Chain A
Amino acid sequence: MTHAPHIPVVGSRPQRPDGADKVTGRARYGADLSLPGMVWGAVLRSPHAHARILSIDTSAALALPGVLAVLTSADMAANFSADVAAGESHIDLQDMSRNVLAREKVLYHGHAVAAVAATSQRLAKEALKAIQVEYAPLPVVLDLDAAMHPDAPVLHPGMFTRGLPETPSVASNIASRLVMQKGNVDEGFAEAEVVMERTYTCASAHQGYIEPHACLASAGADGQIDLWCCTQGHFAVRSYTAALLGLDPASIRVTASEIGGGFGGKTTVYLEPLAVALSRKCGRPVKMQMSREEVFRATGPGSATRITVKVGARRDGTLIAMDALMEYEAGAFKGSPAGAGAMTIFTSYSAPHQRAVALDVVVNKPKVAAYRAPGAPQAAHATECLLNELAAELGIDPLDLRCRNAVTNGTPTVYGATLRNIGLQECLDAARVHPHWSAPLGPNQGRGLAVGFWFNHGAQSSASVHLVEGGKLLVQEGNPDIGGSRASMALMAADTLGIPYADVHPVVADTASVGYSDMTGGSRVTYATGYAVIEACRELVERLKSRAATVWGVEPSQVEWRDGVAIDGRDPSRSMSIAELAALSGRMDGPLSGQGSVNLKSAAPSFAVNIADVEVDPETGASRVLRFTAIQDAGRAIHPDFVEGQLQGGAVQGIGWALNEEYRFDANGVMENPGFLDYRMPVASDLPMIDTVIVEVPWPDHPFGVRGVGETPICAPIAAVASALNAAAGTTIREVPLSPPRVLAAIMAKD
């Protein structure tokens, strides 16, 4: 029997398996599920940015008809001894518990203080008003200087700066000081012919996912709990919820709904432990969903930052020394991505002497959460803008300056890894030949170039594959599909088995239906979870070969697997298709499946080069991005449409951060713009098409060469846009966002 050869599908652009559900409204997101007997939860939030909680009286609320349960920190454990490992970072449960529900103090305006469950949303909100909380307001700390002042009010009396040479005796708002270095920067600057030092700031920007946090929890009388929620990691939700509530993780089954965006912001828990605790108290399913205002006030934005960068170079543009002081606001609890910023700030450049000093500083604002390449866009803003200023100072083309100093394979990084198989030079080459780089500019227009770097992540993933009647394949994986990853899994499975893409049915399985998988984050899903899917498919192939060998009475090693068909190596005319083998299951050793579990220790360094053209109206300071080109090394683009989508979406998030987006607080620490009207994200009419170039330098540790593409796209745009705008306006604004009032003020100051 002859079989048609399998045409490889990796690298093609089929429709995603879940596409029809998403265009018809059938896909179910966090707030879309309801259960019989369900009641509604709501959260009481602090009206103060910093205050001691003296007392909470819930009796009046509990007495209201329709109110079934009230929750305060008194219902939660007060002390936690262990941390929970969580992918790229570790979690301090003491802090996480107090962020989910304030205990001794409220630390930001909007901080959760209590929660209720009632028979309707309306009653739940009414009940919040009946909860009496007595506060003793404290002075608020709203920026880096105020927080680091020697006389600053201390947010956490037990927090002493980590990372200092000597253990400090006084509590501080500086949670940690981290130094990453190689070479000797003092010697490097002594060698330099030109030294430039500048300070750059970025405002806090929100991830801006369109779907507010939502969940539905149902606790049974036997302690079994079902939790449905929108999250980037349902296994993490299980771990955190179990740890915070003192439950057995195996008793909690978490189902990840479709997720309406996350960008890092859905890698922690806010409502989920509250919903579970309320459901345990009242014995009914409890649904909770945040308003947009709650999302802004109480969920993680990215850090506001101040970064002072100093570079030393020769007159020919060769960089010798690079030094940075990186101050990152963490919000109310420690844990800004200052360290990640320090890992990225100079990694694109070969200067032998590098140092980054990173401070993690707490302030009375919402605790920051991961935001796409956490810490790196702000770092790249500083370095890349300064290099553009240096290029102008030295009269060198900005692209030539990058090419002269780009890192190469074999370069050790400040964080320990040695770079290998990188595609930075290939991205720079692609920029040089792109028509955008040499296109003419008109009046009031400027061009900016920037390089972006992110280290990516590997870690733990699981997958199972099951052969279904007819030879179709069911793929179970444990990572919420936030941008088309089901399609990537199906493409890799199809080519590994040699079967059509349409025969593969990927499912994002709940925590009781697939093995542990780290979060959808770190640009790791196509890399690590894809690897687990490939491993599972390979195991299935071995079983298929073994079964064919039994049928033919030969050794499994004598069976070849090619194009979805088992072939007898001794007699290639003899073959069995995957469907034929599947049909034998009941008469042979039963159902055919495969398992894949990986813990990838390596991660592929990822580089991008962005070119932006901006036009400024000198009368108003308003600006517009006219053209944008995003070039990035994907390793291998499994599904190019979704890779392009990552590049385009990251570019536009960066454009928003560069030009408009910012948290604005009043003197009491109240966010003044907690809605999409005043927190201005880019809309379709603000933008041009976003041109993309996918560079493919395969990463050798992955069977298909995947590098991971999700985060790097947001690293370079802020710097590219800011540099373009400054070139257009003839200004040197080093603060982000470059909003029209700020740009106009700079233009007027110049005139």
Chain B
Amino acid sequence: MAIHVQTRVNGQATEFLCEADASALDVLRDTLGLTGSKEGCNSGDCGACSVLLDGTLVCACLVLGAELEGRELLTIEGVAPPGGLHPVQQKLLEHNAMQCGICIPGIVVAAKALLDRDPDPDETTVRFALAGNLCRCTGYDKIIRAVLDAAAAMREGAGVRA
């Protein structure tokens, strides 16, 4: 039997019906049409569906849709206002730090989670913060540089660009 869930997604009050075993990722992608979170493994190993649940970084594939009741979910679609960019997104663009790009939404969310709690991470800290996000194209080099650059820009006052 379907479960009725009331939650907030990217700041908007949202309600949906889901089966008891549907993951938050299923709900986001198939019910709410928010396909920016990607399914790479459905087992919490690749990080392509990284989202913030009440500010905590989680894999949406490891959270049940029903668990979103009364919670606040932030997805890649919500890290910046429409037409805007978060500094992490801006720096990923400037460094051309993506090739196929499928891991990038998860990387953006995970990097934002890091910079929200640590504005001045060193390279090792960034590498461990992103260790749950697989990228097969880039070897991570430019991604790490972009996140470090974003941290520096944010320390100098750069914010989410509207």
Contacts and interface: CB of A to CB of B under 8 A. Distances in A.
B96 A292 contact: no
Nearest to A20: B93
A292 B141 contact: no
Contact of B35 (A25, A261, A687): A25
Interface residues of A, number: 61
Nearest to B142: A645
A26 B40 CA distance: 17
Interface stretch (A172-180, A524-532, A677-685): A677-685
B136 A209 contact: yes
Nearest to A630: B139
Interface of B: 19, 29-30, 33-43, 45-46, 48, 75-77, 80, 85, 89, 92-96, 98-105, 108, 123-124, 126-128, 130-145
Interface of A: 13, 15-16, 18-20, 22-29, 31-32, 34, 122, 207-212, 258-263, 289, 291-292, 482-484, 487, 639, 641-642, 644-646, 648-653, 675-677, 681-687, 689-690
Given A28-B35, A29-B38, A23 B136 contact: no
Given A212-B39, A684-B144, A651 B100 contact: no
Contact of A210 (B48, B132, B139): B48
B71 to A, nearest CB: 20
Given A22-B101, A210-B46, A210-B135, A690 B141 contact: yes
A642 B142 CA distance: 10
A484 B96 contact: yes
Contacts of A687: 127, 139-140
B76 A25 contact: yes
A683 B131 contact: yes
Nearest to A677: B45
A645 B94 CA distance: 14
A681 B131 CA distance: 11
A23 B40 CA distance: 17
Contacts, number: 183
Nearest to B88: A23
B134 A210 contact: yes
Nearest to B82: A24
A644 to B, nearest CB: 8
Contacts of A258: 100-102
A683 B139 contact: no
A291 B42 contact: yes
A259 B103 CA distance: 11
Contact of A292 (B36, B43, B77, B128): B43
A208 B48 CA distance: 14
Contact of A260 (B89, B100, B130): B100
A23 B89 contact: yes
Given A24-B77, A684-B144, A15 B100 contact: no
Given A20-B93, A26-B36, A261-B136, A648 B141 contact: yes
Contacts of A292: 40-43, 45-46
A675 B99 contact: no
Nearest to B34: A25
B154 to A, nearest CB: 16
Contacts of B105: 23-25
B131 A15 contact: no
A619 B37 CA distance: 41
Contact of A648 (B39, B40, B77, B138): B138
Contact of A483 (B41, B93, B99): B99
B104 A641 contact: no
A114 to B, nearest CB: 22
A541 B71 CA distance: 58
A685 B131 CA distance: 6
Contact of A259 (B80, B100, B124, B134): B100
Contacts of A122: 19
B42 A24 contact: no
Instruction: Enumerate the 7 nearest inter-chain pairs by beta-carbon distance, A residue then B residue, closest first.
Output: A25-B36, A260-B102, A22-B101, A652-B139, A676-B45, A648-B139, A641-B96
A259 B124 CA distance: 30
A650 B141 CA distance: 12
Contacts of A686: 131
Nearest to A29: B102
A289 B48 CA distance: 16
B13 to A, nearest CB: 21
26 contacts: A15-B93, A18-B101, A22-B104, A23-B85, A23-B98, A23-B101, A23-B105, A25-B35, A25-B37, A25-B75, A34-B30, A208-B136, A210-B103, A211-B100, A260-B102, A261-B102, A482-B99, A482-B100, A483-B137, A646-B99, A648-B139, A649-B99, A652-B139, A677-B45, A684-B126, A689-B144
